Each structure stands twice: as structure tokens, then as C-alpha cells.
Amino acid sequence: MRFKIFTILLLVLSSFLAYSQQETIETLDEIIEEIASNTDYELDYTTLFQSLEEYYYNPIDLNSAKESDLKNLMFLTEFQIFSLIKYRQKFGAYVSLYELQFVDGIDDLTLKRILPFVNIQETKTAEVKDLKRLFTYGKHTGIIRYQRLIQEKSGYKEIPDSVLAVNPNKSRYLGSPDKIYYRHNYQYKDKMFYGITAEKDDGEQFFKGAQKYGFDFYSAHFQLNRIGVFQKIILGDYIAQFGQGLTMWSGMSFGKTSSSTNIIKNSRGINKYSSVNESAFLRGQAASIEFGKFNFTEFVSYKSLDAGVDTTENIEFESEEHVISSFLETGYHRTPNEIAKRKTIQEFIAGANMNWKEKNFKIGATGVYYTFSSPLGERNEAYRYFDFVGTQNANFGIDYLITIPKVNIFGETSMSSNLGYASVNGAVINFVPEFNMSVLHRYLRADYQALYAQPFSEGNKPYNESGFFVGAEFYPIKKWKIDAYFDSWKYPWLRFGVGAPSWGNEYLVQVAHFPQRNLELYLRVKYKTKQKNDPEIITGIKPLVDYSSSRYRIQLNYTPNSAWKFKSRIELSRYYMNTPSWGYLVYQDIDYKPENIALKFNFRIAVFETDTYDARLYAYEPDVLYGFSVPAYYGKGSRLVFVVKYTLNRHFDFWFRIANTYYADKQNLGSGLDAIEGNNRTDVKIQLRYKF
């Protein structure tokens, strides 16, 4: 049977694999773009990109891969991971990558994505016994990036000394408009990693003032994998992700995407952190031990946070008390006010996870305790009535995954110290290869309190929501694919700008056509309805009004040969509340990589117009390596983006990027310290990567 499978696939799929082997690391960009195209925020995808890049250069051996290894390929679902291991257990070791076509749940898109990151090793890699090899036979990689806005913002203009003498804390940017990023990583196969990341944001000081040690933000990590009984040992900065994100989930989390059946969170446990988000990580020590069917992970973190702190009088003890009024999560320390909130409180976190795996069943328990050096004060706003108050809190949750042929059943239930609780449960059903379906229910009480939680929800909040999601993915005929989902939710308590319990729902339908391997066409329709306070009511009780937003997108991707790649998109938006407002975005991407020349060019021209900011549109755009841009398009104008990459040799790569936005309907841009005179905004990036 093994020979038969190999022969059939060799004949049928040889052309496909030949094409896949020509794929370069641009595959990573495609995966990131698919995630980003469904997100209306500019997120830092560095951690995701790095994780995939590690396995691009050090592919996972399918014959020795464990569940934890395959989870690092974050685009794989739990069912696909289960199927890859189950196939190996049933038929024996993989002989060829062609066999992936026969694995349940591995469709053409997943096959295209997974091929660059896996291989089949003829001999098992020997364990590293000489620790010196870990430090001397690895690969060093460094990134140096400079970025600047050409136009001058109001916050950089000089203020007369006479004004500063009267008001020395007058709001202004104290540093230069330069943004500088540096990162150095070392990696020995998949055994050892260490590195340092540093960043100075535009407007922050550099080697003076509040940043007398140079960069405003530093991050470092050291990680060992599979050393004795230890699966992972981490010192420095890291992330911790368990279950379905209801109890503990730091770092980036993916919400709803056009892949309607990819609703099970792929928890990775503990892993090194090398991004520049200055709040979404843990700092300290973590370790994971595996013994038999059990896996135990512990983690401890202690770091400083940015926060506004108020001083109040404690009448009972006749003393002053410092109370946290708000957290500052932007990471910016440019003005006297932002610097005053820098590292004002300390956060201590300790937690653990224990999970047990049987053949088709997995259950885990996660507990986390955190405390702050100053208490969080009570909020006066009604919608924040259930917010956490005090210095200490804890969460405890149970998660499970039942994997039986064609069905995945999963969920997590968690409780906080105040006995508020939340629960997420769902199932993914693979009826036949041509039709899959998913359902998910969440019940997140308004009084559930968790500061490091990102479950599946509208807006990824872990509280004040109950909802039901149902999605389907099917292939009606050859070369056609349809994704669709419906999500409905209720908010049992108030929210910001919503003075009563409210509801919402969302629909998405995407039809994709693949007439040939180098051509893809898809149409997407997305509709969302929610409620908020009527903005036309100035005083008194504001009744809720419905508002809706619609998106209509058609996109064509065409790759005529290895040198050229074209991407065309037309997208319409409609926002309706009392009266409709419309918007559109049209762009053309052209990627060119000439043969026998170490150059690559990316170019985008976009034209857009929206009636209001509410009708704005988002689009992932070309950028330098590890630079991610998903700008909002609103107003009336055009945007040009040009990126060139030059590979000097196998040790050095150089990038240059320039992006200009022209607004035809504005005379000035921005407001406050970010105000710009004129209707143009131009950003420049220069980046160097070295490898040795």
C-alpha cells in the first residue's frame, strides 16, 4: 500500500511539488497577509513571522514531530495536527511528502503552506551531548532598521524658552523624529535560542533624559529545548499561552478569519519573546517538563508597567495611598506626561499548567496569580462597575480537547478570584474532505476578571459577552471554495459608549476560484451590525441605535512566472447609522524579482475615497522584513508604496522602503502634537540584515 500511495502521488502531484519547491520565503508573507487582511488593526506579527522562519530554515521532521512541534506552525488546526500524527501511527513512517495529500484535513491551501516547513529525515538527528556545539555551530542574525516621517509634526517644533520657563512640562516631543530598531538573534537548530531586541520610537530621547541608556525599550531571551526531561527552559522575556485563551494568553492572538473552521486556538505553552510590544509579554523564568503522558509548565514573571497613578488620602490610617488610575499600553515615552507614567508600578505573575494526553483526549488545568505594587482604584463609570479593583487576583481554568475521527470537541472554563466565571466550548466537524463545519458558544460573565486572557470573542475581550458562532467550508466543484460564517452575540452589561445591554451579529461569505495554479480570484462579503448610544442626543438618557458596516471585496492574484507577481483589489465599504456613508479602495501590487540579479521590487499604487472615518478600509501592504503595515484608508487621496531589497551576498541583505499618502480633501493632517502642515505624509525605512 505504501508503494501504491507513493506511485500515485508521484504521477499526479509531481508538477505541483515542483512548483512548491520553487516557493521562497515569500510564503511567510502570504500567511501573514491572510491573517492581517481580516484584522482592522496594525499588529506586530514579528513573533509569528520569526517562528515560521525558524522552521523554514530548519524544517520539522514529520516522522519524529510531536504535537508541540507542529503547533509552532500556527496556521495548522488541532484537527490537522491530530491527522498528521494519526496517519503516521496508522501507516508507519512517512516515505514522501507526497503522502500529505492523503492526510485528513490537509487541503490544497494547507499543503501549499506546510511544504516549506516540513521534511522527512532518513536518519534521526542525534542528541546534542557536547554543549559547546550549542554556542559555536549556530546561526547569528541581526536587523538594524531606521525609520522617519519626512514631514515635521507639530510636536517637534521648538518652544520659546520663555514659555518653557513658565510651564516646563508643556506637552511636546522631547526626542528626535527618528525611529530606530535593533535585533540580534542566535539559533542552534531547534535546540537553543538567545537574542536581544531594542527599539526607540519616534519622539523618544536617545542616550539622554529619560532614556539615558540609549533605547527606550530592551528585551532579551534565552531558550533551551529538549534538554533531558525539560522540553523548554526560558530565561528573560517570553509568552505563555494555554487552553483556549480564557485563563492565560499573552502575546498575539488571532480572532475571526475567513477560514471559518479555524476557531480552535493553537496554544503553544511557553515560548521566547522578541517583539517590541512593551506590555504583552512576561519577563522572568519559565520551564516545561514532560513525563509520560503528562506535561507540566511553570512560569514566574516580574516587570515594570506604565500606568497613571493617583494619590489619595486613607482616612482610616491617616496616610496617603497610591492608586492606579489607568494603564498606558502604547509604549510611547515622548512627552513629559508619558514619561511621568513610565514604569510607575511593578507586576508579579506566577502560574502553572498541567495537561494530560491520551490517544484521543487531552485535558489541562491552568492557574495564574498576579499582584501589583499599587492597587487598581475603583472606577466611577457605570460600564466599568465589574472591573478588577485591588492589588491581587487569580484565575483558574480547565481546558479539554477530544479528537475522534472527523470531529474535534474543545473548550475551556475559567474562574477569577471574585467567583466570576467564563466558558468557551465548540466543535469542528470534518464530514468529508469537501465539507467542514464549526460551531462555538461562549459565555463570558461581566464579572469575570482576567488581565491576561484572549479567548474567541468579538473584540477578543474575556468578559461581558455571550455568543454563538457557526461556520462552514466546502468545495462545491473542482477549483472552487466557499467559506461562510455567522456570529451572533449579546453584551449583558454596559460598555464604553453603550449605556445599556446590547447585541450584534456578523456574516461573512467568501467565494474563491482557482482556475489554474498561478491564478486565484476571490469575492468576499462581510456584514456587521452592532449598537451604541445615539450621538444626536446631547443630554439625558441616550437610547441605543443600531449601526452597521459592510465590506465588499474582489481580489485577483496572478503569478505568470517566477519573476512577476500581480495582485489587484477593489473593495467597497458602507457604514450606516441614520444615514449611509460609503467608501472604496482600489490598489494594484506589482512584485518583480529579475533572474540572476540579487534585487527584488515591490510596488503598490492605491486610490481611495470615504465619506467618513467610519467607512474607512484597511489593507496589508508591502514592507521590509519584520516590518508590518496595515494602514487605515479614509478621506480622499492616493497612496504609493515602493520597496526594494538587495542581497549583497549570503551574509548581507539591504531594504529601502518609501510610502507616500496624498489627501486631496485636506489642507492639514492629524491633530495636536501629530499635526502636519500640508496634505502629504511620507515615511522612509532603511534596513540591513546580517547573517553569519
pLDDT tens per residue across span 639-658: 999 999 999 998 999 999 99
Q: Are 421 and 413 in contact (CB under 8 A)?
A: yes
Q: What average pLDDT does range 579-592 have in this prediction?
A: 96
Q: Which residues 6+ apart lie within 8 Å of 24 measured at CB?
A: none
DSSP, collapsed to helix, strand or coil, labels residue 645 as: strand
Cα–Cα separations (whole angstroms), residue 68 to 85, 170, 340: 11, 52, 42
Q: Sorting pLDDT into bands at 50, 70 and 90, what band is 41? A: low
Q: Sorting pLDDT into bands at 50, 70 and 90, what band is 262? A: confident
Q: How far apart are CA 203 and CA 336, in angstroms?
A: 11
Does the pLDDT at position 24 exceed 80? no
Instruction: Please give the pLDDT value at position 129.
Output: 58
Q: Are 529 and 507 in contact (CB under 8 A)?
A: no
Q: Are 600 and 592 in contact (CB under 8 A)?
A: yes
The angle formed by the CA atoms of residues 514, 626 and 112, to the nearest 5 degrees, is 25
Q: Which residue has the higher pLDDT, 157 or 220?
A: 220
Question: Among 28-32, 48-52, 508-512, which is the least confidently predicted range?
Answer: 28-32
| Residue bearing cell 468579538 | 458
pLDDT tens per residue across span 355-369: 998 888 899 999 999
Q: Show the DSSP H helices in 254-413 as ranges.
A: 336-340
Instruction: Please give the pLDDT value at position 21.
Output: 34
Number of H helices, E strands in the chain: 9, 33
Does the pLDDT at position 390 exceed 70? yes
Q: How far apart are CA 447 and CA 494, in angstroms?
A: 12
DSSP 8-state secondary structure symbol assigned to residue 98: G
pTM of the model: 0.88
Q: Sorting pLDDT into bands at 50, 70 and 90, what band is 10? A: very low
Instruction: Please give the pLDDT value at position 128.
Output: 56
Instruction: Please give the pLDDT value at position 19.
Output: 35
- When the pLDDT of each residue in the chain is averaged and rounded to a whole number, the result is 87
Q: Which residue has the higher pLDDT, 38 or 202?
A: 202
Q: How far apart are CA 78 and CA 81, in angstroms?
A: 5
Q: What values do phi and psi take at 560, rounded to 5?
A: -65, -30
Q: What values do phi and psi take at 60, rounded to 5?
A: -80, 130
Does the pLDDT at position 38 exceed 80? no
DSSP, collapsed to helix, strand or coil, labels residue 150 as: coil
Does the pLDDT at position 186 exceed 60? yes
pLDDT tens per residue across span 666-680: 999 998 899 999 999
Q: Shortest CA distance to 489 belongs to which of 533, 526, 444?
A: 444
Cα–Cα separations (whole angstroms), residue 207 to 213, 219, 333: 5, 17, 14
Instruction: Please give the pLDDT value at position 86.
Output: 83
Q: How far apart are CA 679 and CA 656, in angstroms?
A: 23
Q: What average pLDDT does range 582-605 have in this prediction?
A: 94
Q: What average pLDDT does range 163-174 have in this prediction?
A: 74
* The 3-state secondary structure of 232-264, one letter per residue: EEEEEEEEEECCCCCCCECCCCCCCCCCCCCCC
Q: Sorting pLDDT into bands at 50, 70 and 90, what band is 29? A: low
pLDDT tens per residue across span 60-106: 888 888 877 887 787 787 778 878 888 888 888 898 888 888 887 78
DSSP of 475-524: -SSTTEEEEEEEEEEEESS-BTTB-S-EEEEEEEEEEEEEEETTEEEEEE
Q: How far apart are CA 91 and CA 86, in angstroms?
A: 9
C-alpha cell of residue 213: 541608556
C-alpha cell of residue 97: 511528502
The percent of residues in the chain predicted with pLDDT above 90, rounded, is 57
Q: Which residues 6+ apart lie within 8 Å of 313 measured at CB?
A: 319, 320, 321
- Residue positions counted in the chain: 692
pLDDT tens per residue across span 290-316: 988 899 999 999 999 999 888 776 555
C-alpha cell of residue 15: 508538477
pLDDT tens per residue across span 315-344: 554 556 788 888 888 899 999 989 999 999
Does the pLDDT at position 196 exceed 70? yes
pLDDT tens per residue across span 540-565: 788 999 999 999 999 999 999 989 99
What is the DSSP pairing of strand 636-647 with strand 652-663?
A: antiparallel
Q: How far apart are CA 557 and CA 553, in angstroms?
A: 13
